[in-house]
Structure 1
Amino acid sequence: MSTPERERVVAELREAMQRSTLYTVLLHHTTASKAGLNVSDAQCLNALALDGPQTPGRLAQLMGITTGGAITAVIDRLEKAGYVRRSRDPDDRRRVIVELVPESAERYARYFEPVSEEFGAYLAGFSDAQLRALSAYMRHSNATMPGIIDRVRRMP
């Protein structure tokens, strides 16, 4: 690929990624709304689904909110809606662990089935090499994004 063509393709990719982010945010607003949640609450569910039970402090750190009232309010809302439950850490009774209620998590996950169906059908036509390249890109993106989020949080 020539340098001008490569620059054009990279610019197209950047725009496509920006548009993908736009649509992802809109999707998350839509799914949260359908479930009677706000986006922050829904992302806490997402974190619990991906990483398993967590302490409120870990959830607060991930979400970029305070460990006091803000995360407590999120967990209270999710618990009241039946999505999570609190339990005591068996190794340290002073610590609280937040975990998903499986039936409620499955109900929420249902809103993402159209995404899974669409992309599953699309990816079925990809070669093994293409799938490995996409997987590598996503692993890199996911590994670097927490640091990027932290950098943005510290910006004036």
Structure 2
Amino acid sequence: MPTPSSPDPAPEMEIVHLLRAVTVELGLHSARFANQNGMHPTDVRALIALMDARRAGEEMTAGRLGAVLGLNSAGTTALVDRLEQAGQVRRVRAERDRRRVVIEVEERAVELGQAFFGPLIERSVELLRAYDERQLAAIRGFLGGVREAAAEGRE
């Protein structure tokens, strides 16, 4: 926030600060969901990763899930065991290679997430409908670039 003796922040920095504030709010929103459902925040991140894989038509092994979440093998096993015991996920044989075990999200978990996150998603979609295709492409490009930049820190 500019003070009387400092210049206005550059428009780019204003957007970066706004993105940071959005990230904080989304984190708090996700933490409320985890708290209300007796989950750890990592459980929520795992369910999101599993739903993203499902939407993309990709199989998610425990090893891949651990890599996505930055967990070691023991941590991933504990996470999947916890989610399976809670009825949120199931272990099944892979379709293409029956020797592999993949983790799938249960419909119950999808419905639970939709009930909580649905209003926020609907509001976000409503906001995006106000933009034309060129503006949407710019938003998509910016967010994709920020995501890639953040992911570089993982490697």
Q: Which amino acid aligns with 1:57?
A: G
- Aligned counterpart for 1:108 among listed residues 107, 113, 118: 113
Question: Could you give the per-residue CA deviations for residues 4-36 of structure 1, whole angstroms, max 9, x where no partner exists?
Answer: 87x611121121121111112111111222222
Out of 6, 10, 17, the position equivalent to 1:15 is 17
**Which segments of 5 or more consecutive residues in structure 2 lack a partner in the other structure?**
1-6
Q: Which residue does the alignment assign to 1:146?
A: 151
Partner of 2:47: 45
Pairing 1:131–2:142 present: no
**2:75 equivalent to 1:75:** no
Gap regions ≥5 residues in structure 1: 151-156
Q: Give the structure-1-normalised TM-score.
A: 0.82
Q: How many residues align?
A: 145
- The structure whose residues are more often helix, as a share, is 1
TM-superposed deviation, 1:106: 2.0
TM-fit CA distance, 1:91:
4.4
The RMSD of aligned alpha carbons is 2.0
Q: Runs of at least 4 residues of structure 1 off by over 3 A?
A: 90-94, 142-145
Q: Name the TM-score, length of structure 2 as normaliser.
A: 0.82
- Aligned residue for 2:63, secondary structure, equals helix
Identity in percent: 28
1:63 is matched with 69
Q: Does 1:25 align with 2:30?
A: no
